[in-house]
Structure 1
């Protein structure tokens, strides 16, 4: 009897027989069984639960985010309205991995502080499975805090109350006053010094569900597949949605960023119902709109979290921008299926088409595997190509290669194209398995460190052999520890 037996869902997507065979192979090659099981479990976990950190300005949200992720990545500055590109980070506590949404980057707006805090909290809460609500224990609960509490109650998500700026025992009484918010126990914390963060994170781990609410396939199998239309402002996202919905569902204006709320539309295309999530897009960096720029990133991140496939709309009449690339990176890092739609195609002359093709080769090389459609959201040209592209991307995203077939492929690949010799040694990929899908996640086990160039080569050959069109492919490598073969 194997002492290391773990439950079915921890085998990733390997069936029982496939798993048993694989573990036998791992033992023969001298790998530590616990290490192999951990690698399969980690790669097979699927989407991570999402934790949102919300609260009014200057309560220490970004400092807390830095404390949780263990590095100074979220920008912390004393001036309000500091923007940053990233809004989501991966974190881990007590062996539980989760995704963190930081709402600290958008601190003031012409709407007035209450409305802006409420708006950013709303998007973050919508994308989240649990929420950390940060309150300044020294100042106490304000009217703005009370407005956020009302939002949290309405959303019905689990909440952990963080009473921040409790730098010593004397301030604990301030934290106790926050019981009055009616959100349960206030956790006294000093995000700056790290005091009390461990206990608070224990409560967070308890509050997080084992699987995120948006687990793909949805609660009802066969429910509508979810599509996020993303792209920078004024590329035509609302016009595209109107065209596929065949009516003016969304208010469209020439001014960039006029879509006010995230609108989910159920639309029938090709005899199938799809759920489109429309976003305001990521605003250009205009100093007058520092807050809005960050806010749009938050909205796009929330839309991508809710979706299975991201349709990235790019204005083909303009050069591919840094913003376009940032949006693409967001979708790739989130592990979503991807379709690239080039809008305003009907307006291009021959010269622009030539230069656009060159730009695509150089600027969009990281997603050369994504299906591409050239469309016009205003005339409706080539719109019928959108659904087949989305279906192709989803099929690639859900593709799984059986372990036996994968190892035959790896064996042939390593024989024909061995890893370069480094320092007198030649590392080899010994075997591997695909532990998960949505997106495809592989774990390869090797005799030594596998260079990134060779990993990219393996990914390229995997795509040539098995398809994976329209999906990121995640490959992790585990190296055998030097301690001889097990008898």
Structure 2
């Protein structure tokens, strides 16, 4: 992070794209043909878990992608085997759900192995789906291997598209084909909501995420156990709360950073991270009966860095006595000083205390996340602010703010055009006053400074 930047998004910047209901592209195929590697190529970043061991991907995991200005969603799926049993059958079922809900399907086949009986069975099912299917011959690393891809014409799915997901060969051409096969959305769809607002329940293990989800649902949707780590995969539930339907996702408790976790915990952490990035707002649960820990701070940072709206819920409030409240107030002042903008609710998932307050807090956070200030009003505001408190003089001269604009929402992003570099402390002062005067409750804010360099002088690095 540079001095000129307070916060930035991860992944492609889609702020200038229309908020349409993004088409869905499902990537399917039998185990270990390179689906997750291809997904990483399509979305332009390494996010899907890739390992040589078959069966690493078990769920339907969506990722946002952009190509040639068009936004779409890529769904990574587990290995699809039509006659699978046990856990493999459950994984295959998830892949079949992805097919049923997709607009375009990419069938990945290992060109080095050729079409197997499982591939041919998958082709028969895809023919019945009546969906556009793109046949991808993966692991075609050079021109000599293209003959292997040509042999897949026999499957009857049309032209096989040779790709090397590992090296990127042919991935751009494949993306062009994907865009051609996508349905054209009617103009009215650009202004409509894509469905229930997506809420991720996150927190360290055993803070009561699953208990809260069950309380909100009014039934046992997920397993609850006193043993930490019961939830491994994110669990989606449509829940009606305060007259609105919300899509809640219960996630695995985060113990360590993703890079430090291992085994099942690593994959659980990665899926939780994906659930946060796929959500619009996150409810971070903290155990009110225990001190705010480093793990709690890490979870909060993950949500802020993902650029999601945030609500902090202090759970187990029924276990908090007067002494604990005294110390908790001081912990909040000390440990949560950097995110005073997040709404806070005190709840008890076990007794149901104040859980009804979650819906208003979620709406407030989402409103801040989507808030936009007109450019004229914003520049009037920044002019008055700088006149009242100018930037400190550095080297005999103070940099001027020439112009300010809001570049995007979800979360709000601002750009300051200046005659020189601004002190990071001054940028933080601007952010603080932005919140005081305009709100943005429940949302992180990104402020970027673009300094105009003097003519004839090289840009400072």
- TM exceeding 0.5: yes
Q: CA RMSD in A?
A: 4.8
Which residue of the other structure, out of 468, 476, 480, is the alignment partner of 2:440? Answer: 468
- Structure 1's 284 and 172: CA in aligned 2 closer, same or farther, altered over 3 A? same
- 2:165 paired with 1:191: yes
Structure-to-structure mapping, 1:299-378, within 5 angstroms: 301-302=274-275, 305=278, 307-320=279-292, 324-325=296-297, 327-349=299-321, 352-353=324-325, 356-357=328-329, 359-361=331-333, 363-378=335-350
Q: Distance in 1 between matches of 2:395 and 2:93?
A: 56
- Structure 1's 404 and 113: CA in aligned 2 closer, same or farther, altered over 3 A? same
Structure-to-structure mapping, 1:6-85, within 5 angstroms: 43-45=15-17, 49=22, 58-61=32-35, 63-64=37-38, 78=52
* Residue deviations 1:83-110 (CA, integer Å, cap 9, x gap): 9xxx8887665455667676799xxxxx
- Structure 1's 424 and 91: CA in aligned 2 closer, same or farther, altered over 3 A? farther
Query: Aligned residue pairs: how many?
Result: 430
Gap regions ≥5 residues in structure 2? 1-12, 80-84, 457-461
3-state secondary structure, aligned to 2:411: coil
Structure-to-structure mapping, 1:28-427, within 5 angstroms: 43-45=15-17, 49=22, 58-61=32-35, 63-64=37-38, 78=52, 93-94=67-68, 114-115=88-89, 117-118=91-92, 133-142=107-116, 160-179=134-153, 184-206=158-180, 218=193, 225-245=197-217, 247-254=218-225, 255=227, 256-257=229-230, 262-269=235-242, 272-282=243-253, 284=255, 290-291=263-264, 293-295=266-268, 297-298=270-271, 301-302=274-275, 305=278, 307-320=279-292, 324-325=296-297, 327-349=299-321, 352-353=324-325, 356-357=328-329, 359-361=331-333, 363-420=335-392, 426-427=398-399
8 Å Cα contact 1:53/1:102 also seen in 2:
yes
8 Å Cα contact 1:51/1:130 also seen in 2:
yes
* Residue deviations 1:156-178 (CA, integer Å, cap 9, x gap): 87665432211222321322344
Which residue of the other structure, out of 434, 447, 470, is the alignment partner of 2:406? Answer: 434
Q: Distance in 2 between matches of 1:153 and 1:316?
A: 54
* TM-score with structure 2 setting the length: 0.72
Q: Distance in 2 between matches of 1:317 and 1:362?
A: 17
Q: Distance in 1 between matches of 2:206 and 2:135?
A: 39
State the 1:326 CA deviation.
Answer: 5.2
State the 1:466 CA deviation.
Answer: 0.4
- 2:412 paired with 1:443: no
3-state secondary structure, aligned to 1:227: strand
8 Å Cα contact 1:427/1:448 also seen in 2:
yes
* Residue deviations 1:267-289 (CA, integer Å, cap 9, x gap): 242xx223242324346569998
Gap regions ≥5 residues in structure 1? 1-40, 106-110
State the 1:475 CA deviation.
Answer: 3.2
8 Å Cα contact 2:233/2:252 also seen in 1:
no
Q: Distance in 2 between matches of 1:154 and 1:354?
A: 64
8 Å Cα contact 2:25/2:102 also seen in 1:
yes
State the 1:368 CA deviation.
Answer: 2.6
* TM-score with structure 1 setting the length: 0.69
